Amino acid sequence: MDKKGSASINLLPISYKEFQKRESKFYKIQNISISLLLFLIFVTSITIALRIIQAQQINAAEGLLEQNNQKVSDLKPREASLFLLKDRLTNIDQITSLPSKQRSIYNLVSQLIPANLNLNFVSVDTNGDMLISIVAPNFASLDELLIVLTSKDKNEDSIAAVSLESFSRSRDGLYRASIKIKPR
């Protein structure tokens, strides 16, 4: 009897009820299996999609790396040139920062040369002896230079001797002279 007081009659055999229970369990297991299979297919498709995206990103990164490597390779000769230039500038800086007889005689003579004279050549050896080649528009300018170089007041008593190594006048009226200067 059920709760309301009426009787219920079951005409189906007991084995059918057990069959229905088994079939109900089978459908539940089948639904869970299908759901699990769909979930695995979904996860697999996401994994494959992520792998494809990752492969594209890796290919793009490799292309960018190759471009950057090419740019670096293109800059190697410039780097070598800049390294040589830097090395030369360092050497020049070291030479100019150290007080030396050569540098002091060069600085002194370059201050004493009048503006109207053109300096063609300058050479200073290890002893400080200097050889200069001058082009003068007239003899007076060249004479003025020789007087200034030999004057102890003007040359700060740094020049021991001045000698005229060569002297000529060209067809265009310019005077050319080579002067040797010996420091103290």
Of 63, 98, 133, which marks where a domain is finished?
A: 98
Region 130-141 average pLDDT: 92
134 and 150 both lie in a single domain: yes
84 and 108 both lie in a single domain: no
User: What whole-number distance in Å separates Cα of residue 51 and Cα of residue 49?
Assistant: 5
Q: What is the pTM of this model?
A: 0.47
Of 78, 98, 118, which marks where a domain is finished?
A: 98
pLDDT digit string, tens, across residues 6-44: 777 766 677 777 888 889 999 999 999 999 999 999 999
Residue 123: domain span: 101-183
- In this predicted structure, what is the pLDDT of residue 96? 67
Give yes or no for a contact between 109 and 116, defined as CB atoms under 8 angstroms apart. no
User: What whole-number distance in Å separates Cα of residue 55 and Cα of residue 58?
Assistant: 5
| Residues ≥6 apart with Cβ < 8 Å to 157 | 184
Number of independent structural domains in the chain: 2
What's the token pair of residue 6?
A: 């009426």
pLDDT digit string, tens, across residues 79-117: 999 999 999 898 878 766 766 778 788 888 888 888 899
The rounded percent of the chain whose pLDDT value lies above 70 is 93
Of 36, 70, 98, which marks where a domain is finished?
A: 98
114 and 94 both lie in a single domain: no
Residue 118 pLDDT greater than 60, yes or no: yes
Residue 1 pLDDT greater than 60, yes or no: no
